[in-house]
Structure 1
Amino acid sequence: MGKVSLNINGRKYGMGCEDGEEERLIRLGQKLDDRVNLMANQFGQIGDIRLMVMAGITLLDELEDINSNVDAQVDLKTGQLRSENTQLITSLTRTETKSVNALESAAEKIERLVARLSEGDP
C-alpha cells in the first residue's frame, strides 16, 4: 500500500493509497490545496473545516456541471445517431425493394423467353 503526504492549507495530511496511485493522489491533493487557498484568499482563514467544505462543494458543483454537459452531449449525439440510423434503414428498405422488383422483372423476362423458346421446339 502506498503512502503520500499532502500539504493542504499549510497542514500536512498523511494518506494511504493503492500502489501506483501516489502521483494521482498528490495531484488531486494539490488541486484541493489550490481550491482551499482560493477560498482562504476570498474569505480569509475561517477555519480548516469550513475551507475544506467550501472547496469540496465548489469542486463538486463544477463536477456536476461537467456531468450535466456530458449527459446533454450524449443525449444529443444519441438523437443524431438514431436519426441517421432511421435514414439508413429507410434507404436500405428502398434499395431492397428496388432490388426485389428488378429481380422479379428479370425472372418474368426469363420465363417469357423460356416460353418463347419452348414454343419453337418440335
Structure 2
Amino acid sequence: MAEVNLTIDGRSYPVACDDGQERRLMQLGSYVDQRMREASVSGSSNKVQAMVLASLMLADEVFDVSEKLTQARETIQNSPPTNESDSKIEYQGLSPNDEQNVINLIGQMASKVEKLTARIQKKSA
C-alpha cells in the first residue's frame, strides 16, 4: 500500500492508495485543488462553504458525463444494425509481381520439404 500527500487548498492530506496508483491520485488531488480554488474565488466566505461549492461543481461534472454516457448508449442501441457486407473485407488479389513471388516461395518450400523427406528416408533405411 502506497501513501501520497495531497495538497488541497493549501493543506496537506496523507492518502493511502494501491501501489501503482500514486500518479492517478496526484492528478485527482490536483483536480480537486483546482476546483477548491475556483470555489474560493466564487465568493465563498469560509472553507466549509468553498468545499461544499467545490463538491457541487464536481458532482455537476459527474452528472454531465453520466448523462452523456446514457445518451451515447441510447444512440448506439437505437441505431440501425450495420449490414454485414459493409463490414466484410473483400480479397482484392495480389499484384502479378507479388503473386509470382508467392509462387516462387511455395516452390522453394516444396523443394526443401522434398529434400528433408529424402534425408529422413535415407536415415531410416
Could you say which TM-score interval applies, normalised by the shorter chain? 0.5 to 0.7
Matches of 1:6 and 1:71, distance apart in 2: 32
Determine the structure 2 residue equivalent to 1:69.
68
Q: CA deviation at 1:37?
A: 0.3
Q: Distance in 2 between matches of 1:29 and 1:6?
A: 6
Query: CA offsets per residue over residues 48-84 of structure 1, 9 Å max, x none?
Result: x32222111111111111110111111011111xx32
**Structure 1, unaligned runs of 5 or more:** 89-122
Q: Distance in 1 between matches of 2:2 and 2:49?
A: 28
Residue type of the partner of 1:54?
Answer: L
Q: CA deviation at 1:44?
A: 4.3
The RMSD of aligned alpha carbons is 1.7
Deviations 1:68-111 (A, max 9, x none): 0111111011111xx326xx6xxxxxxxxxxxxxxxxxxxxxxx
Does 1:60 find its partner at 2:59?
yes
CA distance in 2, matches of 1:45, 1:14: 26
> Match for 1:84 among 77, 81, 85?
81
In structure 2, the CA distance between the partners of 1:61 and 1:42, relative to structure 1 (3 Å rule), is: same
TM-score, normalising length from structure 2?
Answer: 0.61
**Aligned residue in 2 for 1:35:** 35
Is it true that 1:11 corresponds to 2:11 in the alignment?
A: yes
Specify the structure having the higher radius of gyration (Cα).
Answer: 1
Give the helix-richer structure, 1 or 2: 1
